[in-house]
Amino acid sequence: MEGQRRRARQADVARLAGVSQATVSAVVNGRGPETGIPEQTVQRVLEAVRQLGYAANPAARSLRGKRNRLLGVHTFESIFPVDQLDFYHEFLVGIEQQAVADGYDLVLFASTEDLDGRRRIYTDGMNRLALADGSVLLGVEPGSTELARLAAEGYPFVHIGRRTVPGTEISWVGADYASATREVVGRLAALGHRRVAYVTGPDRMEVFLDKEAGYRAGCADAGLPELMYVTSQLDPAWVDAAHAGGVTAVLAENEPLARQLVAALAERGMAAPADMSVVVLVTMTESGWSSLRIPRNEMGRGAVKMLTRILAGSGDPGDQHHLLPCGLPDDHMIGPPRS
Amino acid sequence: MEGQRRRARQADVARLAGVSQATVSAVVNGRGPETGIPEQTVQRVLEAVRQLGYAANPAARSLRGKRNRLLGVHTFESIFPVDQLDFYHEFLVGIEQQAVADGYDLVLFASTEDLDGRRRIYTDGMNRLALADGSVLLGVEPGSTELARLAAEGYPFVHIGRRTVPGTEISWVGADYASATREVVGRLAALGHRRVAYVTGPDRMEVFLDKEAGYRAGCADAGLPELMYVTSQLDPAWVDAAHAGGVTAVLAENEPLARQLVAALAERGMAAPADMSVVVLVTMTESGWSSLRIPRNEMGRGAVKMLTRILAGSGDPGDQHHLLPCGLPDDHMIGPPRS
DNA sequence: TGATACCTCTGATTCGTATTAGTAATACAT
DNA sequence: ATGTATTACTAATACGAATCAGAGGTATCA
pLDDT digits (tens, 9 = 90+) for A289-333: 899 999 999 999 999 999 999 988 765 666 899 999 999 888 889
Give the residue nearest to nucleotide C16 (CA to C1').
B60
pLDDT in tens, B31-82: 878 888 889 999 999 999 888 888 888 889 888 877 788 999 998 877 665 5
Q: What percent of chain B has pLDDT over 90?
A: 52
DSSP-based three-state secondary structure for B161: coil
Please determine, for residue A339, whether its predicted confidence score (pLDDT) is greater than 80. no
Distance B216 CA to C28 C1' (A): 84
Per the CB < 8 A criterion, the answer to whether B72 and B61 are in contact is: no
For residue A167, the tally of other CB atoms under 10 A from its CB is 9
Nearest CA in chain B to A130: B58
Average pLDDT, integer, range B80-100: 78
Q: What's the CA–C1' distance between A10 and D20, in Å?
A: 18
Report CB contact under 8 Å: A92, B107.
no
Task: Pick A127's closest partner by Cβ from B55, B127, B130.
Answer: B55
The residue of chain A with its CA nearest to that of B71 is A107
**Which strand C bases fall within 7 angstroms of a protein CB?**
7-12, 14-21
**A78 closest CB neighbour out of B96, B108, B155:** B96
Residues B185-211: what's their mean pLDDT?
89
Residues above pLDDT 70, as percent of chain A: 93
**Chain B residues whose beta carbon lies within 8 Å of the beta carbon of residue A70:** 107
Q: From the Cβ of B19, is strand D under 7 Å away?
A: yes
Mean pLDDT, residues B288-312: 92
Do the Cβ atoms of B93 and A82 come closer than 8 Å? yes
Chain centroid offset of residue A261 CA: 28
- Say whether B80 and A93 touch across the interface (CB within 8 A): yes
Residue B136 contacts residue B304 (beta carbons within 8 Å): yes
Least confident of A251-265, B67-81, B204-218: B67-81
Q: pLDDT per residue over A105-160, tens digit each?
A: 999 998 888 877 788 888 766 788 888 889 999 987 767 888 988 888 888 999 99
CA distance A202 to A237: 19
pLDDT confidence of B286, banded at 50, 70, 90? low
Give the model confidence (pLDDT) of A49-102 as tens digits: 999 989 888 889 889 988 888 999 999 877 666 554 567 888 998 999 999 999
CA→C1' distance for B36 and D1 (Å):
30
Read off the DSSP letter of residue B35: T
Cα separation of the two ends of chain A: 82
- HSE on the CB side for B226, CA within 13 Å? 12
Helix residue ranges, H only, B53-132: 58-65, 89-102
Sheet with A196-200, strands from edge to edge, namely: A227-230, A196-200, A249-254, A277-282
Q: Which nucleotides of D are covered by protein (CB under 7 A)?
A: 7-12, 14-20
CB < 7 A to strand D: residues 39-98, chain B: 41, 60, 63-64, 66
**CB of A185 within 7 Å of some strand D atom:** no
Taking contacts as CB-CB distances below 8 angstroms, the residues of chain B near A57 are: 63, 68, 131
Which pLDDT value is given to residue B133?
87
pLDDT of residue B81: 59
Which pTM value belongs to this model? Answer: 0.86
Cβ atoms of B168 and B184 closer than 8 Å: no
Give the model's confidence band at B137: pLDDT under 50 very low, under 70 low, under 90 confident, else very high: very high
All residues of chain A having their beta carbon less than 8 Å from the beta carbon of residue B81 are 93
Place B339 in a pLDDT band, splitting at 50, 70 and 90.
low
Q: Establish whether the CB of A64 is closer than 7 Å to any nucleic acid atom in strand C.
A: yes
Select the residue from A73, A89, A106 to test the B interface by mutation, using most B Cβ atoms within 10 A.
Answer: A106
Provide the CA B32 to C1' C29 distance, Å, integer. Answer: 29
Q: Are strands B105-108 and A227-230 parallel, antiparallel or unpaired?
A: unpaired
Distance from CA of A172 to the nearest CA of B (A): 19
Burial of B124: CB neighbours in 10 Å, binned 0-12, 13-18, 19+ = exposed
A103 and B85 in contact (C-beta within 8 Å)?
Answer: no
Following DSSP, what letter does each residue of B7-22 receive, concatenated?
PP-HHHHHHHHTS-HH
Contacts of residue A327, Cβ cutoff 8 Å, sequence gap at least 6: A180, A292, A293, A295
CB of B20 nearer than 7 A to strand D: yes
pLDDT at B321 over 90: yes
Q: How close does chain A come to B190, measured CA to CA in Å? A: 36
Whether the CB of B29 is less than 7 Å away from nucleic strand C comes out as yes
Residue nearest to nucleotide D7 (CA to C1'): B36
Q: With cut-offs at 50, 70 and 90, classify the pLDDT of residue A48.
A: very high
Distance CA A277, CA A260 (A): 14
Give the residue, B29 or A286, on which the prediction is more confident.
Answer: B29
Alpha-carbon distances, residue A47 vs A34, A39, A172, A255, B147 (angstroms) = 20, 12, 44, 58, 19
Nearest nucleotide from residue A63 CA, by C1' atom? C15
Read off the DSSP letter of residue B331: S
Q: Are strands A105-108 and B105-108 parallel, antiparallel or unpaired?
A: antiparallel
**Nucleotide D28 C1' to residue A23 CA (A):** 27
Strand C closer than 7 A to residue A41 Cβ: yes
Beta-carbon contacts of A171 under 8 Å, excluding residues fewer than 6 positions away, are A157, A158, A159, A306, A310, A317, A318, A319, A320, A321
Residue A1 has pLDDT above 50, yes or no: no
Confidence grade of residue A2 (pLDDT, cut at 50, 70, 90): very low
Nearest to B59 among A62, A106, A111 (CB): A62
Distance D24 C1' – A163 CA (angstroms):
60
Please report residues of A whose CB lies closer than 8 A to that of B69.
111
| Cβ atoms within 10 Å, residue A183 | 20
The more confidently predicted of residues B205 and A108 is A108
- A128 Cα to chain B: minimum distance (Å): 6
In sequence order, which residues have a C-beta less than 8 Å from that of residue B106 and are 6 or more positions away? A107, A108, A110, B70, B71, B72, B73, B95, B96, B99
| B54-58, B224-228, B241-245: least confident range | B54-58
Mean pLDDT of A5-29: 91
**pLDDT > 90 fraction of chain A, expressed in percent and rounded:** 55
- CA of A231, C1' of C26: distance in angstroms: 70
Considering only the beta carbons, identify the residue of B58, B105, B313 that sits closest to A127: B58
Per-residue pLDDT at B12 exceeds 60: yes
Q: CB of A37 within 8 A of CB of A26?
A: yes
| Residue A124 DSSP label | T
Q: What is the average per-residue pLDDT within A232-238? A: 90
Confidence category of residue A204, pLDDT binned at 50, 70, 90: confident
Burial of B261 (0-12, 13-18, 19+ CB in 10 A): buried
Res B84: pLDDT: 46
Q: Other CB atoms closer than 10 Å to residue B137's CB: what's the count? A: 26
pLDDT of residue A197: 96
Please indicate whether residue A313 or residue A286 has the higher confidence score (pLDDT): A313
* Nearest residue to B19 via CA among B35, B2, B1, B3: B35
